[in-house]
Amino acid sequence: MFIYYVRLALLSYRRNPILSSLMVLAVAIGIGAYMVIFTLNYFMGGDPIPHKSAQLFHVQLDYGNPSFPDFDPPPQLTYIDTLALLELTSRYPRTASSKFVGVVEPDNPEIRPFSVSGRGNFSDFFTMFDIPFQYGSGWDRSADEGRQQVIVLSRELNEQLFGGIDSVGETVHLHGYNFTVTGVLDNWSPVPKFYDVNNGPFDPIEEAYIPWHLIVDLRMDRAGNTNCWQAPEGDGFQAFLNAECAWIQFWVELQDRTAYEDYLNLINNYAAEQKSFGRLQQPVDKRLFDVNEWMVEQEVLPDETRILSALAAMLLAVCLLNTVGLLLSKFLGKAPEIGVRQALGAHKGSLFIQHVIEAGFIGALGGLLGLGVAALGLEGIKVLMGDLIVSDWMHLNLTVVVVTIVLAVVSTVIAGLYPIWRACNINPAIHLKLQ
Amino acid sequence: MEFGPILRALLRNKLGVILIAVQIAFTMTVIVNAVYIINQRGELMSRPSGTDEDNLFYIRSIGFGQNFNEEVTAADDLARLRQTPGIVDATVINTVPVSNSGSSSAFLLEPGELASSVPSAIYYADHGSLNTMGLELVAGVDFTEADVLIRESSSNANADTVIITQALAEQLFPEGAQAAIGQVVYTPSDQAVRIIGVVRQLQAPWPLWEDIENAAIFPEIVIDGASLYLIRTEPGEQDRLMPMVEEMLGASNEQRILRQLRTMADTREESYRIDSVMTRILSIVIATLVFITAMGIVGLAVFSINRRRRQIGTRRALGATQGSILRHFLVENAIISGMGVIVGAVLTVAFNMFLVQTFNMPRIGWYYIPTGMLALLLVGQLAVIGPSRAASRITPALATRSV
């Protein structure tokens, strides 16, 4: 029976090819446009580390100067507070992290020295964020406090420096110092770059990773956002380190509720203590944010995609209204045929199913074409955006394909319910008379 | 005119009318707000930065190795650049206007008075900066070489003179640019600086910053491992000079790498790319929506005419002219579209209020609404004109057939 109804749907399509194609096109454009935005939101606003996002917490403190009007507490931490948090406890995996840039001088004289983007972080960084390694691993915890000159390379940098071989144990000359390679990352490009949303949430990952303390010890050239709300007392680098300047991100992994309560307690006590010293006077809503909360708090999803979401929803509504109107025309135009079928004994139920299938058929065609529209749309956005953001993730995945087809069929059938109901309630006698 | 009969005929098919009207209302909401966003982004993109953007490019020099002396290299590089034929002037500066990256601080009228501080972008550049960027001095004087302070990046002692923009001067001293000259203002670390000049315009580096016209230039060369050279050429010389400058600097000192050889025009394009992408996407949305809605109107009109062929034939047989049949369908569409655009006007304003509240965008101008209404009425009329003309050609003889 199903096959028969599909054949009827096909026949009906052929009878009114222009009207039917118009419907398919409307569904395709509406669904396609919606899917482009859905894909953008799915990735840009999605959970980049779903199995752990509820266990990783970013720490924010009550920063600001009460005499500055409208001062938003910066998302990062000061050097002094970072050292204090590191002292606070080592029960839980945690990492401070900051960006730097440095010049690498390859041993191979054929390759000119070049500049790399880097990150100072703790050894826990690699395990907390489940970063995949191609060779070796992160450094030992002892290397953090021992301030050993060790380095982890991105896959691209290893390619560039060592031709992609297992370079563990090799030496890299960075910023005038020798670093020993402990590991090489595999391909990894989290979207959004959740561990650092303050310096470009859709930027590529860094190329080199070194123990965080070395940023200060070796006076690496810091990069990324720095926000001060009080002038340093005195001059020089040490004065900057002691100043109320936030430039360090701090993440901690808390695996269960008990750990969370325990850590929150420690942080709250620290904040209260600092407050009594006259610091941390501007209260914040929250001190520990998990990955998803943090991305919402930091407004990672651009305004543009949010505006486009609303517009795409309205575009889809227009396309579906269009389809309702056209289906209504089409089904009412079929009145004589429906009259004949009813006169020959067709139940209202089977007429109903027949028309649901016909509407679904149009929806499915629209959905398939919509996939093409969506793929084209994403490709277009990728071309327009160029190298502004990492856009490897911008493609249709299985979820999006399935959602597209299902959404197209379901929405077309729903849009068709009224026309179907009208079609099933046609009085056969009138139309038989006209035959 | 046969307004009454048309209305009564419409009421026989309420749902069809509602469908088209709602469709038109949504279409209008999307289109009018999209046009408004496009215009608003266009305004952002067309703001001048105050600099001679067409003739500016820059290059960054990063030193490495023990023997690299940034101060000596910068002085040497600037001398070479300024001697090069075709180059108007060059400066070493901490960042490039419109580049989205830079430094900000604030100025205070009295030391310690943070509450009344005026925020400003800060440029650190040597005495060639005004001439290099092509800034127009409206009051006071330019820097001289003697004003320039060379300092380590870890030091926060500023130079004691500053040149500020007119917008910043007027915020600090409401009497205007001239009144600002010679005045002493304070940095957040309570250091006194004297305003020696005011320039007409120099934008802060961040296109979305609310205080974008507030900027100040300190005559300082900051020693921080890298030097950014901003270079102004004679018109038309840029393409020839860019590779030449890179080669010249590269050859003069091996202990450094050169990066980011770029023009200001490219920098502007990149900083505003999201806006131009948005503009293009919205234009496509508008075109698509107009097409879909128009096609929907055509489809439904063709259908409703086909259903009424015999009635049309009868009217013709009873003496209605082709013109009156044509008019019937045009008026019918105008009534439906009219309802649509009235609802559309309400929805448009509602959606705009959502945009204003959620995204801090300025409110839509009132004239967008009537313009949008007229435009959609016109689209409706154009869409329906084809089917209506076909209807008017239905022969009166049809009335006598087949019944």
Segment A158-163 shows an average pLDDT of 92
Residue from the list A114, A328, A418 with its beta carbon closest to the beta carbon of B257: A114
Residue from the list A26, A239, A385 with its beta carbon closest to the beta carbon of B292: A26
Residue from the list B22, B30, B155 with its beta carbon closest to the beta carbon of A311: B30
A285-312: per-residue pLDDT in tens? 788 899 999 988 888 888 888 889 999 9
Domains of chain B by residue range: 3-46+273-400, 69-254
pLDDT at A432 (0 to 100) = 64
Whether residues A311 and B115 touch (CB distance < 8 A) is answered with no
Whether residues A322 and B22 touch (CB distance < 8 A) is answered with no
Q: Which of residues 253-312 of B touch A (CB under 8 A)?
A: 257, 259, 270, 273-274, 276-278, 280-282, 285, 288-289, 292-293, 295-296, 299-300, 302-304, 306-307
The rounded distance, in Å, linking the Cα atoms of B231 and B241 is 10
Whether residues A321 and B351 touch (CB distance < 8 A) is answered with no
> Taking 60 as the threshold, does the pLDDT of residue A435 lie above it?
no
Could you tell me the pLDDT band of residue A324, with boundaries at 50, 70 and 90? confident
- What is the token pair recorded at A232? 């340093």
Chosen for mutation from B223, B291, B292 (greatest number of chain A CBs closer than 10 Å) is B292
> Taking 80 as the threshold, does the pLDDT of residue A390 lie above it?
no
Question: Does the beta carbon of B30 lie under 8 angstroms from any beta carbon of chain A?
Answer: yes
B273-327: per-residue pLDDT in tens? 989 999 999 999 999 999 988 988 888 888 788 878 888 888 888 888 888 888 8
Whether residues B289 and A318 touch (CB distance < 8 A) is answered with yes
The rounded distance, in Å, linking the Cα atoms of A90 and B236 is 61
Q: In the predicted model, what is the mean pLDDT of chain A?
A: 87
B83-142: per-residue pLDDT in tens? 999 999 999 999 999 998 888 888 989 887 777 789 999 999 999 999 999 999 999 999
CA dihedral B371, B373, B379, B383 (to 10 degrees): -160
- The answer to whether the CB of B224 falls within 8 A of the CB of B162 is no
Name the phi and psi angles at B96, rounded to 5: -105, 135
A69-100: per-residue pLDDT in tens? 677 788 899 999 999 999 988 889 999 999 99
Residue from the list A105, A237, A384 with its beta carbon closest to the beta carbon of B277: A384
E strands, B211-303, in order = 215-223, 226-233, 256-263
* Shortest Cα distance, chain B CAs vs residue A322, angstroms: 6
In Å, how far are A176, B60, B61, B68, B156 from B74, measured between CA atoms?
21, 11, 9, 11, 20
Segment A236-262 shows an average pLDDT of 90
Nearest Cα neighbor of A394 from A35, A28, A116 is A35
The rounded distance, in Å, linking the Cα atoms of B61 and B81 is 13
The rounded distance, in Å, linking the Cα atoms of B390 and B376 is 22
Total-model pTM? 0.85
Cis peptide before A192 (omega within 30 of 0): yes
pLDDT at A264 (0 to 100) = 92
> Taking 50 as the threshold, does the pLDDT of residue B165 lie above it?
yes
- The answer to whether the CB of B249 falls within 8 A of the CB of B76 is no
B292 contacts on A by Cβ (under 8 Å): 25-26, 29-30, 318-319, 322
Nearest Cα neighbor of A421 from A366, A332, A344, A352 is A352
What percent of chain A stands above pLDDT 90? Answer: 37
- Strand pairing of A177-185 and A171-174? antiparallel
* Shortest Cα distance, chain B CAs vs residue A257, angstroms: 34
The rounded distance, in Å, linking the Cα atoms of A228 and A231 is 7
Name the phi and psi angles at A239, rounded to 5: -65, -40
Tell me what ipTM this predicted complex has. 0.83
> Taking 90 as the threshold, does the pLDDT of residue B48 lie above it?
yes
Whether residues A329 and B29 touch (CB distance < 8 A) is answered with no
Indicate the DSSP class of residue A72.
Answer: P
Whether residues A240 and B154 touch (CB distance < 8 A) is answered with yes
pLDDT at B403 (0 to 100) = 45
A19 contacts on B by Cβ (under 8 Å): 299, 302-303
The rounded distance, in Å, linking the Cα atoms of B97 and B268 is 9
> Taking 80 as the threshold, does the pLDDT of residue B401 lie above it?
no
Count of residues making up chain A: 435
E strands, A258-376, in order = 288-290
Beta bridge partners of B112: none
> Taking 50 as the threshold, does the pLDDT of residue B268 lie above it?
yes
In Å, how far are A36, A39, B14, B190, B206 from A374, measured between CA atoms?
5, 9, 35, 57, 33
What percent of chain A stands above pLDDT 70? Answer: 98
pLDDT at A4 (0 to 100) = 78
A30 contacts on B by Cβ (under 8 Å): 292
Rounded to 10°, the helix B368-392/B322-359 angle is 150
Chosen for mutation from A311, A320, A421 (greatest number of chain B CBs closer than 10 Å) is A311
- The answer to whether the CB of B303 falls within 8 A of the CB of B373 is no
Q: Which of residues 118-147 of B touch A (CB under 8 A)?
A: none
Is B368 or A111 the better-scoring residue by pLDDT? Answer: B368
Segment B369-384 shows an average pLDDT of 93
- What is the token pair recorded at B364? 């839509």
